[in-house]
Structure 1
Amino acid sequence: MIKRLLFLLLLMPAMRSLAQDADFFKPDSVRRQLKAVKISTTINIDGKLDEQEWALAPPSPQFIQVEPNQGKPTAFETRVKVLYNQKYLYFGIILNDPLGKKAIRATDFIRDFDFMKHDLINLSFDAFNDKRNAMVFATNAYGVQRDLLAFDDLYFDIDWNGLWEVRTARSDSGWVAEIAIPWKTLRYPKRVDTIQSWGLNIYRNRRLTNEISAFSPFPRVFSATHMNYAGELTNLQPPPPATNIRVQPYILTSYDHYSNLGADVKPQSTHFKAGGDLKWAINSNAILDLTAHTDFAQADADLQVNNITRFSVFFPEKRQFFLENASLFGVGVSQFADGSGGAMRYQPFFSRNIGLDDNGNPIPIVGGGRFVYRSSNLNYGAIVMRQGGDNDLPGTNFFVGRVSENFGSQNRIGALVSVKNQPGVSNVESTVDGFFRLGESQSINAILTQSTTTNTGKKGFGGVMQYINSTNQYKIWWTESLITKDFDPQLGFVSRKDIIGTTPGMNYYYRGGLLPFKSLIRAFEPGILPELYYTASTGKFAEMSLAFYPIWFNLQSGAYLGYGFTPTRQHLTEVFAPLDVNIAPGDYNYTVHNILLSTDPSKIINLMLDWKTGTYFNGHLTSADWKLQFAPIPHISLLGEFNQNHFTGVGEQKVNKNVNLYILQGRFALNPRVQLTGIYQKNSFDNADNYNIRLSWEFSPLSYVYLIYNRGVAGVANTLTVHPQTEDHLIAKISYLQQF
């Protein structure tokens, strides 16, 4: 009965506004076109567009606003020209601005930069014209690269790195980007006809006014990778897909120093290591990746989290080999960036279970491979890896197999099998999944998995189904989860076990005439996010929260301000110990108040705050997450983070204490190819200090020299009588990429 009432509560205002949502439009039957021109010469990529060949290419049609005034012409002209020869596809892009380079915003030189902090131009290609897959290349005004693969505008390989080149120039009239993408980097069909047309969309963010404009317009609720709204790049005559092999060997040497780790640990040692990766694009559809003595020394350190919830923390994958083509294997259901979808997260395959222990420490990977086949109808692939033995952990074999079939306009069904094999025991997961578009705005995503562990004979089930209805005026969702007590996905991730979850919700988007201060405020977006959980093994109530955000303003600058409160009811059947505060079993009712704010994220100084206060179980808790960035020029970026949890009278012992986490990140760049980065983390929870410093030089596209220093100081109970345990690691690594 409660579920039905909640559903009607959410559905009625959405249905009333459906007929009024005139701004939400379907794709135009006549696609906008941009003609490419073939040349026989080579373009020098320097950001100047001074070759006479650029005069041969016709410019793109006038861009149209997506934000803030959807459908209106942009006030800032963007002209795009396209050339190509037998090796490269070239883009010359002129981004005019009456304020010139004074208007340009950029906060750092990190690859795959935050698009909310930079002026940028973004290219999305649909070479197979299936209107669901996209290869994306973007650059900011300083030539920093951002690239990704997108599927169904739902799954993204954000950390995919393609081999391409860009240079930019800034002037008093705006900025210019000159881009060269090798045909070997792109994936396109081998056709009998010589002239091809590809799906293409291009969007620009003029960050000073936070205006997004596009070559082919799309509803603002979507992104530019929603490729059924794309235009066309015409008159292409690419060379037939040929042998395409990328080899990237590396050599590495390291010095390790340990203090107070015990007599069985050598105080110092040196190591030499060699290995590498091979990527073979067998044809336009199939790619084989092989790796030997896989190394991830240059991967970013995990940022620590002090968790006060009953949900497990999800740490993202940061290792390049596993990030490639991750979306084929990485199906899952999780909370979206806007808070919609519910807190439950389930992913049948999670690559961090390979080569890392439970604490995120590396375990040697002997080698392995990945094969992926993608087409407009059928996708399949497999991963095979061998993990070496480490301390008490035996050598382990991993296998993941995946197949999915596309049907209809944008529907998909699939299956996934994963096996973790160790001496005497195997853990097997068998998954079926589906994604179904019920129209331009509605979709259903479903995943059902059975896990089996051979030595215990235990079997478990995990299932999640999520409905989304997203338009320009509202977003409603309904997520149902069932995770049994014995569910054990050793190659996957689930945020909570032994649970039945119901998480509906609604965000409402208002930009009408009653909105005050429209020069400052872009939208009023209140939301309600209820969550209800029962224990699966007993059927008894476990937890309920009713988060309501009556105030949420998105500002024209990209800043936001919100206030919400969350009445919560908890039923604990065993001791719950967040940050070592023991809370006894029982029933608890409490309410948390939440203030969230962000200043303009593209400014030299920008601030984010997530502040919560209120009752917490049998006491009181105030927690705050502060993030302050100082970026006086794009070459220098400092980001400080402070997380505080202040307990008052909480738990069995009526605990009063503070737990503080400090994180400082710095980035110093000569240019996008030479950068010094550092992370310092100090956590009062375990008195630990960690440093990670990395100097990187990209001396050739995707070829690097790294110098890395890592230091870890483990906390101790009494530093006056016990010396802290320390680890120091100095690493030098060279990797070189050659494409044949």
Structure 2
Amino acid sequence: MVEADALVVYLDPHHDHLTGAQFGVSAAGVQRDALSYNDQFLDVTWDAVWASAVQVDAQGWVVEMRIALSQLRFPAADRYTWGINVQRVIQRRNESSWVQLVRKNEAGLASRMAHLEDIAGITPPGTLELMPYVTSRAEFIEPPITGSPFNDGARAFGAAGMDLKYGVTNSLTLDATFNPDFGQVEVDPAVVNLTQFEVFFEERRPFFTEGAKVFGNFGRSGASEYWGFFRPEPTLFYSRRIGRAPQGRVVTPYSDVPATTTILGAAKLVGRTRRGWTLGALDAVTGREHARLSDGVQTTTRAIEPLTYSLILPGAAATNQLRRHQGAA
């Protein structure tokens, strides 16, 4: 969408001049959505459910969007004032037109929105989503070692699990997953690591990417203009270690080693309080993994990864300080 004509709608339902959501549609009908935080940064991993349609004619193009209130978070009130802005991108002119002008030489996005006042007759909808799944797959690959008792070239696999999303309050959301399936996630690039240091891969699993900025900001100084110049930003939490490949090593003629550690269950609570504090908590349990070993005569099993419990509490990110600096109400 960056290289195409587009229309983008920005909303700040909390009207805190710091956070919000954006929904964009290109002239070809391609959608893009993101969450904004700290006034100007974007979390593009957010994947909302909304509808849009585009019609192209001789005079140009027209777009219509339908955004359900269930995709937005806002507190209960009799009347609301939201922040709103609309951007039209004309790529051939390298031009952007705004309802409320956002200058290129000035920082800020949510703090520069217009006010949509006297919104009434709406209530924050409750959220409860259940998504069970059952998967099966088969492999027909010539085994790397002939004579293996664990792989004759044809193997079948099956799994079942469920994802859950629940709105605890109007501003706190609980995500849970049981035996998640990440088969649709893009495969990591092949890397030959000859060093003693761990290779860091980008997180692409949906459960961990949604709301990841709450945990990714853990350790930052808190300033909205902090870009990491002159000092590295600490990585205190690396989510790819949850469900990683088993770390135990086996040396035997024939072996059957799990490629990843099974995530038995995980839960994540993300949201904000009425005072403007952003909260996050993540809890995960991965199973004990075993490898099957054989010397061609006898078959045994060996534990290669222990049962692991992970609890991440990054605390609260104080957005009140930023609000005072920007003079927002």
TM-score (norm 1): 0.37
Q: Which residue of 2 aligns with 1:139?
A: 25
Distance (Å, rounded) in 2 between the aligned partners of 1:343 and 1:309: 24
Partner of residue 365 from structure 1, selected from 219, 244, 263: 263
Trace 1:88-167 onto structure 2 (pairs within 5 A): 115-153=1-39, 155-167=41-53
Structure 1 unaligned residues grouped into runs of 5+: 1-114, 412-436, 441-740
Partner of residue 203 from structure 2, selected from 317, 321, 325: 317
Q: Which residue of 1 aligns with 2:80?
A: 196
Distance (Å, rounded) in 2 between the aligned partners of 1:312 and 1:146: 33
Distance (Å, rounded) in 2 between the aligned partners of 1:211 and 1:309: 47
Trace 1:521-540 onto structure 2 (pairs within 5 A): none
Tell me, yes or no, if structure 1 residue 226 matches structure 2 residue 138.
no
Distance (Å, rounded) in 2 between the aligned partners of 1:401 and 1:154: 25
Q: Which residue of 2 aligns with 1:593?
A: none
Tell me, yes or no, if structure 1 residue 248 matches structure 2 residue 131.
yes
Distance (Å, rounded) in 2 between the aligned partners of 1:388 and 1:306: 27
Contact 1:381–1:402 under 8 Å retained in 2:
yes
- Which fold has the larger relative contact order, with Cα–Cα distance below 8 Å and residues 6 or more apart in sequence? 2
Note closer, same or farther for the CA distance 1:294–1:342 as it changes in structure 2 (3 Å cut): farther
Distance (Å, rounded) in 2 between the aligned partners of 1:137 and 1:381: 24
Give the superposition deviation at 1:221: 4.3
Distance (Å, rounded) in 2 between the aligned partners of 1:309 and 1:215: 53
Structure 2 unaligned residues grouped into runs of 5+: 222-226, 248-258, 292-303
Distance (Å, rounded) in 2 between the aligned partners of 1:217 and 1:309: 50
Tell me, yes or no, if structure 1 residue 210 matches structure 2 residue 123.
no
Distance (Å, rounded) in 2 between the aligned partners of 1:244 and 1:380: 19
Question: SS at 1:373's partner residue?
Answer: strand
- More strand as a share of residues: 1
Q: What percent of counterpart residues are identical? A: 27
Distance (Å, rounded) in 2 between the aligned partners of 1:358 and 1:386: 14
What are the Cα deviations for residues 683-718 of structure 1, in whole angstroms up to 9, with x where unaligned?
xxxxxxxxxxxxxxxxxxxxxxxxxxxxxxxxxxxx
Partner of residue 282 from structure 2, selected from 383, 399, 406: 383
The AA in structure 2 aligned to 1:398 is S
Note closer, same or farther for the CA distance 1:270–1:119 as it changes in structure 2 (3 Å cut): same
Give the superposition deviation at 1:130: 0.8
Question: SS at 1:276's partner residue?
Answer: strand
The AA in structure 2 aligned to 1:149 is L
Give the superposition deviation at 1:368: 1.5
Q: Which residue of 2 aligns with 1:713?
A: none
Distance (Å, rounded) in 2 between the aligned partners of 1:363 and 1:205: 45
Tell me, yes or no, if structure 1 residue 407 matches structure 2 residue 325.
no
What are the Cα deviations for residues 239-284 of structure 1, in whole angstroms up to 9, with x where unaligned?
2223221122222111123434442542321122221211011221
Question: SS at 1:410's partner residue?
Answer: helix
The AA in structure 1 aligned to 2:261 is I
The AA in structure 2 aligned to 1:407 is N
Distance (Å, rounded) in 1 between the aligned partners of 2:165 and 2:311: 19
Partner of residue 275 from structure 1, selected from 161, 173, 179: 161
Question: SS at 1:408's partner residue?
Answer: helix
Distance (Å, rounded) in 1 between the aligned partners of 2:89 and 2:199: 33
Question: SS at 1:190's partner residue?
Answer: coil
Give the superposition deviation at 1:364: 1.7
Q: Which residue of 1 aligns with 2:244?
A: 356
Question: SS at 1:259's partner residue?
Answer: coil
Q: Which residue of 2 aligns with 1:453?
A: none
Q: Which residue of 2 aligns with 1:542?
A: none
Distance (Å, rounded) in 2 between the aligned partners of 1:119 and 1:309: 45
Give the superposition deviation at 1:145: 1.5
Note closer, same or farther for the CA distance 1:301–1:154 as it changes in structure 2 (3 Å cut): farther
The AA in structure 1 aligned to 2:137 is S
Contact 1:132–1:228 under 8 Å retained in 2:
yes
Question: SS at 1:327's partner residue?
Answer: helix
Contact 2:39–2:111 under 8 Å retained in 1:
no
Distance (Å, rounded) in 1 between the aligned partners of 2:41 and 2:246: 26
Tell me, yes or no, if structure 1 residue 301 matches structure 2 residue 187.
yes
Distance (Å, rounded) in 2 between the aligned partners of 1:313 and 1:341: 23
Give the superposition deviation at 1:308: 11
Note closer, same or farther for the CA distance 1:290–1:214 as it changes in structure 2 (3 Å cut): same
Report which of the two structures shows the higher radius of gyration computed on alpha carbons: 1
Trace 1:306-345 onto structure 2 (pairs within 5 A): 314-331=200-217, 341=229, 344-345=232-233
Give the superposition deviation at 1:362: 3.4
Give the superposition deviation at 1:313: 5.8
Q: Which residue of 2 aligns with 1:692?
A: none
Distance (Å, rounded) in 2 between the aligned partners of 1:209 and 1:305: 41
Note closer, same or farther for the CA distance 1:118–1:389 as it changes in structure 2 (3 Å cut): farther
What are the Cα deviations for residues 452-476 of structure 1, in whole angstroms up to 9, with x where unaligned?
xxxxxxxxxxxxxxxxxxxxxxxxx
The AA in structure 2 aligned to 1:252 is T
What are the Cα deviations for residues 83-131 of structure 1, in whole angstroms up to 9, with x where unaligned?
xxxxxxxxxxxxxxxxxxxxxxxxxxxxxxxx42222111221111111
Distance (Å, rounded) in 2 between the aligned partners of 1:374 and 1:295: 29
Give the superposition deviation at 1:373: 2.9
Q: Which residue of 2 aligns with 1:495?
A: none
Q: Which residue of 2 aligns with 1:170?
A: 56
Distance (Å, rounded) in 2 between the aligned partners of 1:310 and 1:116: 39
Q: Which residue of 2 aligns with 1:638?
A: none
Aligned residues: 292
Contact 1:204–1:213 under 8 Å retained in 2:
yes
Q: Which residue of 2 aligns with 1:448?
A: none
Contact 1:241–1:283 under 8 Å retained in 2:
no
Distance (Å, rounded) in 1 between the aligned partners of 2:21 and 2:112: 15
Partner of residue 284 from structure 1, selected from 170, 176, 181: 170
Let me know the Cα RMSD of the aligned residues.
3.0
Partner of residue 186 from structure 1, selected from 67, 72, 79: 72
Distance (Å, rounded) in 1 between the aligned partners of 2:65 and 2:284: 36
Contact 2:54–2:62 under 8 Å retained in 1:
yes
Contact 2:87–2:97 under 8 Å retained in 1:
yes
The AA in structure 2 aligned to 1:363 is T
Partner of residue 346 from structure 1, selected from 230, 234, 244: 234
Structure 1 stretches of 4+ with a deviation exceeding 4 A read 304-314
What are the Cα deviations for residues 623-647 of structure 1, in whole angstroms up to 9, with x where unaligned?
xxxxxxxxxxxxxxxxxxxxxxxxx
What are the Cα deviations for residues 392-420 of structure 1, in whole angstroms up to 9, with x where unaligned?
12221111113213323437xxxxxxxxx
Distance (Å, rounded) in 2 between the aligned partners of 1:311 and 1:215: 49
Distance (Å, rounded) in 2 between the aligned partners of 1:296 and 1:236: 40
Distance (Å, rounded) in 1 between the aligned partners of 2:28 and 2:50: 15
The AA in structure 2 aligned to 1:236 is I
Give the superposition deviation at 1:219: 2.7
The AA in structure 2 aligned to 1:396 is T
Distance (Å, rounded) in 1 between the aligned partners of 2:305 and 2:239: 18
